[in-house]
């Protein structure tokens, strides 16, 4: 998925954009890498590290399935689009969904680093879901 694809589905309630970065980066409180802090407007946040237990292994599939299913709110797994800073930890979330038996999530590989290169694209800070 590219930036134009994300822009096309931003207002479509059948799709869910999910930021895979740490919550403080999602909220725009800190941004150690990119020149602009925040997240794609309307995106949810699931930090990639919340998919693993203390041993570093993925949580059991049923726990991840419950977590992602609640987040998806009835949407199809293939309508979930993960992004992060540059595409790396987004892959972790997509893999966690596969492990959970929810295949087909997409990755916006350009992620936040690409999104902010176009000043016409929206930027949101804070947590709109709280």
Asked if residues 60 and 50 have their Cβ atoms less than 8 Å apart, the reply is no
17, 18, 47, 84: which is the annotated catalytic residue? 84
Please answer whether residues 81 and 107 qualify as being in contact, where contact means their C-beta atoms are separated by less than 8 angstroms. Answer: yes
Active site residue 80: no
What span, in angstroms and rounded, lies between the C-alpha atoms of 111 and 3?
8
Write the CA distances from 95 to 69, 99, 102, 105, integer angstroms: 15, 6, 9, 9
- Which tokens go with 76? 């199809």
3-state DSSP percent of the chain in helix, strand and coil, to 5: 35, 10, 50
Contacts with 5 (C-beta within 8 Å, 6 or more apart), sequence order: 81, 108
* Active-site residue set: 84
């Amino acid at each position: 998925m590219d930036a134009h694809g994300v822009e096309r589905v931003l207002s479509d309630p059948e799709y869910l954009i999910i930021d895979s970065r740490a919550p403080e980066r999602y909220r725009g409180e800190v941004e150690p890498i990119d020149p602009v802090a925040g997240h794609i407007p309307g995106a949810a946040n699931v930090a990639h590290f919340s998919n693993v237990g203390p041993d570093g292994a993925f949580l059991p599939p049923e726990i991840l399935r419950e977590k992602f299913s609640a987040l998806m709110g009835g949407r199809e797994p293939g309508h979930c689009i993960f992004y992060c800073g540059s595409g790396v930890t987004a892959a972790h979330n997509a893999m966690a969904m596969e492990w959970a038996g929810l295949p087909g999530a997409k990755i916006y590989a350009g992620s936040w680093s690409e999104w902010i290169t176009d000043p016409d694209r929206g930027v949101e800070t804070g947590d709109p879901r709280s």
